[in-house]
Amino acid sequence: MAPSLRPGKQRWQGLGRLAPWLLLLTGLLLVRFSKGAGFVDAYALLTRPFWPGPAQREWVEAAVDLEQRARLTLLEQDNQRLRGLLELQQRGETGRDVAAAVISRRPRDWWQQLELSRGALDGIAKDDAVLGPGGLLGRVASVTPATARVKLLTAPGHSIGVWLPRSRHHGLLVGTGTTRPELRFIVRDPDVRPGDLVSTSPASTLLPPNLPVAVVQSVDDQAVPLSKAVVQLIAAPEAIDWVQVRTR
Protein backbone atom coordinates (compact mmCIF):
# COMPACT_ATOMS: atom_id res chain seq x y z
CA MET A 1 0.00 0.00 0.00
CA ALA A 2 1.19 3.57 -0.76
CA PRO A 3 1.99 5.58 2.28
CA SER A 4 -0.72 8.10 3.08
CA LEU A 5 0.08 11.78 3.65
CA ARG A 6 0.07 12.91 7.17
CA PRO A 7 -2.60 15.52 8.14
CA GLY A 8 -0.02 18.30 8.57
CA LYS A 9 1.35 17.86 5.06
CA GLN A 10 -2.14 17.82 3.59
CA ARG A 11 -2.92 21.09 5.33
CA TRP A 12 0.20 22.80 3.91
CA GLN A 13 -0.52 21.55 0.42
CA GLY A 14 -4.07 22.95 0.66
CA LEU A 15 -2.71 26.31 1.76
CA GLY A 16 -0.20 26.23 -1.09
CA ARG A 17 -2.99 25.84 -3.61
CA LEU A 18 -4.92 28.73 -2.01
CA ALA A 19 -1.92 31.03 -1.77
CA PRO A 20 -2.19 32.53 -5.33
CA TRP A 21 -5.86 33.28 -4.79
CA LEU A 22 -5.17 34.85 -1.40
CA LEU A 23 -2.43 37.01 -2.93
CA LEU A 24 -4.78 38.09 -5.75
CA LEU A 25 -7.53 38.95 -3.24
CA THR A 26 -5.05 40.89 -1.11
CA GLY A 27 -3.87 42.83 -4.16
CA LEU A 28 -7.41 43.69 -5.17
CA LEU A 29 -8.17 44.90 -1.67
CA LEU A 30 -5.04 47.08 -1.70
CA VAL A 31 -6.05 48.58 -5.03
CA ARG A 32 -9.57 49.17 -3.75
CA PHE A 33 -8.53 50.97 -0.57
CA SER A 34 -5.49 52.80 -1.98
CA LYS A 35 -7.41 53.84 -5.12
CA GLY A 36 -4.61 52.59 -7.33
CA ALA A 37 -1.91 54.86 -5.89
CA GLY A 38 0.71 52.13 -6.04
CA PHE A 39 0.01 51.35 -9.68
CA VAL A 40 0.24 55.05 -10.55
CA ASP A 41 3.66 55.28 -8.90
CA ALA A 42 4.81 52.13 -10.64
CA TYR A 43 3.60 53.44 -13.99
CA ALA A 44 5.43 56.72 -13.40
CA LEU A 45 8.68 54.92 -12.62
CA LEU A 46 8.40 52.65 -15.66
CA THR A 47 7.56 55.43 -18.10
CA ARG A 48 10.05 58.00 -16.78
CA PRO A 49 12.57 57.29 -19.59
CA PHE A 50 9.89 58.19 -22.15
CA TRP A 51 8.89 61.51 -20.61
CA PRO A 52 9.16 64.67 -22.81
CA GLY A 53 12.69 65.74 -23.46
CA PRO A 54 14.14 69.23 -24.08
CA ALA A 55 12.27 69.71 -27.38
CA GLN A 56 8.89 68.99 -25.87
CA ARG A 57 9.74 71.20 -22.91
CA GLU A 58 10.51 74.08 -25.29
CA TRP A 59 7.17 73.57 -27.02
CA VAL A 60 5.36 73.73 -23.69
CA GLU A 61 7.25 76.87 -22.65
CA ALA A 62 6.50 78.51 -26.00
CA ALA A 63 2.79 77.70 -25.61
CA VAL A 64 2.75 79.17 -22.10
CA ASP A 65 4.51 82.31 -23.36
CA LEU A 66 1.98 82.66 -26.19
CA GLU A 67 -0.91 82.29 -23.73
CA GLN A 68 0.54 84.97 -21.45
CA ARG A 69 1.03 87.39 -24.34
CA ALA A 70 -2.53 86.76 -25.54
CA ARG A 71 -3.85 87.49 -22.05
CA LEU A 72 -1.83 90.71 -21.92
CA THR A 73 -3.25 91.82 -25.28
CA LEU A 74 -6.80 91.10 -24.12
CA LEU A 75 -6.21 93.02 -20.89
CA GLU A 76 -4.86 96.00 -22.83
CA GLN A 77 -7.88 95.98 -25.14
CA ASP A 78 -10.25 95.75 -22.17
CA ASN A 79 -8.41 98.61 -20.48
CA GLN A 80 -8.80 100.80 -23.57
CA ARG A 81 -12.49 99.93 -23.76
CA LEU A 82 -13.05 100.83 -20.12
CA ARG A 83 -11.17 104.11 -20.55
CA GLY A 84 -13.38 104.96 -23.50
CA LEU A 85 -16.52 104.18 -21.51
CA LEU A 86 -15.29 106.31 -18.61
CA GLU A 87 -14.59 109.20 -20.95
CA LEU A 88 -18.03 108.78 -22.51
CA GLN A 89 -19.65 108.83 -19.07
CA GLN A 90 -17.73 111.93 -18.00
CA ARG A 91 -18.70 113.75 -21.19
CA GLY A 92 -22.32 112.82 -20.56
CA GLU A 93 -22.32 114.51 -17.17
CA THR A 94 -22.02 117.95 -18.78
CA GLY A 95 -24.04 119.90 -21.31
CA ARG A 96 -27.11 118.31 -22.90
CA ASP A 97 -25.73 114.79 -23.15
CA VAL A 98 -26.94 112.19 -20.66
CA ALA A 99 -24.77 109.14 -19.95
CA ALA A 100 -26.75 105.96 -19.38
CA ALA A 101 -25.90 102.33 -18.72
CA VAL A 102 -27.35 99.50 -20.78
CA ILE A 103 -29.38 97.52 -18.25
CA SER A 104 -31.23 95.01 -20.41
CA ARG A 105 -30.84 93.36 -23.77
CA ARG A 106 -32.66 90.27 -25.00
CA PRO A 107 -30.82 87.81 -27.26
CA ARG A 108 -33.90 87.53 -29.48
CA ASP A 109 -33.86 91.30 -30.10
CA TRP A 110 -30.10 91.77 -29.92
CA TRP A 111 -29.89 93.80 -33.13
CA GLN A 112 -33.15 95.67 -32.56
CA GLN A 113 -33.25 97.38 -29.16
CA LEU A 114 -31.74 97.86 -25.72
CA GLU A 115 -32.88 99.32 -22.40
CA LEU A 116 -31.16 102.25 -20.66
CA SER A 117 -30.88 103.20 -16.99
CA ARG A 118 -32.09 106.79 -17.56
CA GLY A 119 -35.48 108.09 -18.58
CA ALA A 120 -37.84 111.05 -18.67
CA LEU A 121 -36.76 112.26 -15.21
CA ASP A 122 -33.26 112.75 -16.65
CA GLY A 123 -34.53 114.78 -19.62
CA ILE A 124 -34.57 111.94 -22.17
CA ALA A 125 -37.41 112.04 -24.69
CA LYS A 126 -38.64 109.99 -27.64
CA ASP A 127 -36.52 110.28 -30.81
CA ASP A 128 -33.41 111.55 -28.97
CA ALA A 129 -30.17 110.42 -30.60
CA VAL A 130 -28.22 107.67 -28.83
CA LEU A 131 -24.46 107.53 -29.33
CA GLY A 132 -21.86 104.89 -28.51
CA PRO A 133 -18.09 105.18 -28.64
CA GLY A 134 -17.44 106.52 -32.13
CA GLY A 135 -20.83 107.39 -33.50
CA LEU A 136 -24.60 107.09 -33.71
CA LEU A 137 -26.24 103.87 -32.43
CA GLY A 138 -29.95 104.60 -32.77
CA ARG A 139 -32.82 106.65 -31.41
CA VAL A 140 -34.96 106.54 -28.31
CA ALA A 141 -38.15 104.68 -29.15
CA SER A 142 -39.99 105.10 -25.84
CA VAL A 143 -39.36 106.33 -22.31
CA THR A 144 -40.58 105.76 -18.78
CA PRO A 145 -39.71 108.02 -15.84
CA ALA A 146 -36.61 105.91 -15.04
CA THR A 147 -35.75 104.02 -18.24
CA ALA A 148 -35.57 104.42 -22.00
CA ARG A 149 -35.83 101.93 -24.86
CA VAL A 150 -33.52 102.45 -27.83
CA LYS A 151 -34.23 101.32 -31.36
CA LEU A 152 -30.89 100.47 -32.96
CA LEU A 153 -29.82 101.39 -36.48
CA THR A 154 -29.38 97.66 -37.11
CA ALA A 155 -33.06 96.88 -36.42
CA PRO A 156 -34.67 95.38 -39.56
CA GLY A 157 -36.49 98.07 -41.51
CA HIS A 158 -35.33 100.94 -39.28
CA SER A 159 -34.26 103.78 -41.58
CA ILE A 160 -32.72 107.22 -41.20
CA GLY A 161 -31.53 109.80 -43.69
CA VAL A 162 -27.75 110.08 -43.93
CA TRP A 163 -25.13 112.13 -45.73
CA LEU A 164 -21.87 111.33 -47.53
CA PRO A 165 -19.55 114.31 -46.88
CA ARG A 166 -17.06 113.48 -49.65
CA SER A 167 -19.55 113.19 -52.53
CA ARG A 168 -22.12 115.47 -50.85
CA HIS A 169 -25.02 113.09 -51.57
CA HIS A 170 -27.87 111.94 -49.38
CA GLY A 171 -28.95 108.37 -48.82
CA LEU A 172 -31.17 106.19 -46.67
CA LEU A 173 -29.60 103.89 -44.09
CA VAL A 174 -31.78 100.79 -43.57
CA GLY A 175 -31.25 98.17 -40.85
CA THR A 176 -30.97 94.54 -41.89
CA GLY A 177 -30.77 92.78 -38.52
CA THR A 178 -26.98 92.34 -38.82
CA THR A 179 -23.90 94.38 -37.98
CA ARG A 180 -23.94 95.89 -41.47
CA PRO A 181 -26.94 97.98 -42.50
CA GLU A 182 -27.71 98.81 -46.12
CA LEU A 183 -27.23 102.24 -47.63
CA ARG A 184 -29.71 103.08 -50.39
CA PHE A 185 -29.17 106.06 -52.62
CA ILE A 186 -31.68 108.48 -54.06
CA VAL A 187 -29.64 109.42 -57.15
CA ARG A 188 -28.46 107.21 -59.99
CA ASP A 189 -24.75 108.05 -59.68
CA PRO A 190 -23.98 108.76 -56.02
CA ASP A 191 -20.18 108.79 -56.52
CA VAL A 192 -19.54 106.53 -53.54
CA ARG A 193 -16.63 104.18 -52.88
CA PRO A 194 -15.43 101.91 -50.07
CA GLY A 195 -13.98 103.87 -47.17
CA ASP A 196 -16.33 106.84 -47.52
CA LEU A 197 -17.66 108.26 -44.27
CA VAL A 198 -21.41 108.25 -43.65
CA SER A 199 -22.82 110.85 -41.24
CA THR A 200 -26.05 112.56 -40.34
CA SER A 201 -26.93 115.42 -42.63
CA PRO A 202 -25.58 118.90 -41.77
CA ALA A 203 -29.11 120.14 -42.40
CA SER A 204 -30.84 117.43 -40.32
CA THR A 205 -33.64 118.49 -37.98
CA LEU A 206 -34.66 115.02 -36.71
CA LEU A 207 -31.12 114.12 -35.62
CA PRO A 208 -28.14 116.22 -34.53
CA PRO A 209 -26.18 117.23 -37.66
CA ASN A 210 -22.76 115.88 -38.64
CA LEU A 211 -22.74 112.85 -36.34
CA PRO A 212 -20.48 110.04 -37.64
CA VAL A 213 -22.52 106.93 -38.40
CA ALA A 214 -20.70 104.40 -40.57
CA VAL A 215 -18.03 103.64 -43.15
CA VAL A 216 -18.85 102.25 -46.61
CA GLN A 217 -17.62 98.66 -47.02
CA SER A 218 -18.79 97.72 -50.52
CA VAL A 219 -20.87 99.20 -53.33
CA ASP A 220 -23.34 97.49 -55.68
CA ASP A 221 -23.58 99.64 -58.82
CA GLN A 222 -25.81 97.09 -60.58
CA ALA A 223 -28.62 97.20 -58.02
CA VAL A 224 -32.10 98.00 -59.30
CA PRO A 225 -33.53 100.60 -59.41
CA LEU A 226 -30.61 102.53 -57.83
CA SER A 227 -27.18 101.75 -56.45
CA LYS A 228 -26.78 100.60 -52.86
CA ALA A 229 -23.94 99.88 -50.48
CA VAL A 230 -23.13 97.88 -47.37
CA VAL A 231 -21.74 99.88 -44.46
CA GLN A 232 -20.05 99.14 -41.14
CA LEU A 233 -21.31 101.14 -38.17
CA ILE A 234 -18.56 103.02 -36.34
CA ALA A 235 -20.16 102.44 -32.92
CA ALA A 236 -20.36 98.65 -32.74
CA PRO A 237 -23.83 97.78 -31.38
CA GLU A 238 -22.91 94.19 -30.47
CA ALA A 239 -20.85 95.20 -27.41
CA ILE A 240 -22.24 98.29 -25.73
CA ASP A 241 -22.11 98.93 -21.96
CA TRP A 242 -22.72 102.67 -21.79
CA VAL A 243 -24.28 105.15 -24.22
CA GLN A 244 -24.68 108.87 -24.50
CA VAL A 245 -28.16 110.28 -25.14
CA ARG A 246 -28.14 113.65 -26.85
CA THR A 247 -31.24 115.37 -25.56
CA ARG A 248 -32.98 118.10 -27.54
Query: Higher model confidence: residue 45 or residue 232?
Result: 232
Q: What is the pTM of this model?
A: 0.61
Asked if residue 238 and residue 135 are part of one domain, the reply reads yes
> In this structure, is the dihedral angle defined by the CA atoms of residues 51, 57, 63 and 68, taken in order, positive or negative?
positive
Asked if residue 108 and residue 220 are part of one domain, the reply reads yes
Task: Give the model's pLDDT for residue 15.
Answer: 59
Among 1-10, 28-37, 165-174, the range of highest mean pLDDT: 165-174
Asked if residue 151 and residue 30 are part of one domain, the reply reads no
Apex 248 CA angle, 240 and 204, nearest 5: 85
- The predicted-structure confidence for 133-143, as pLDDT tens digits, reads as follows 888 999 999 99
Asked if residue 134 and residue 221 are part of one domain, the reply reads yes
Any idea of the CA torsion for 67, 73, 78, 79, to the nearest 10 degrees?
Answer: 130
User: Which CATH number do you get for residue 117?
Assistant: 2.40.10.340
Long-range contacts of 14-20 (CB under 8 A, 24+ apart): none
Asked if residue 211 and residue 118 are part of one domain, the reply reads yes
Structural domain includes residue 136: yes
Domain that holds residue 224: 90-246
Domain count, the chain: 2
Q: Would the pLDDT of 8 be above 60? A: no
Cα distances (Å, whole numbers) of residue 51 to 44, 57, 115: 9, 10, 56
Structural domain includes residue 97: yes
- The predicted-structure confidence for 56-80, as pLDDT tens digits, reads as follows 566 556 666 666 776 677 667 666 6
Asked if residue 100 and residue 23 are part of one domain, the reply reads no
Structural domain includes residue 4: no
Asked if residue 199 and residue 101 are part of one domain, the reply reads yes
Structural domain includes residue 194: yes
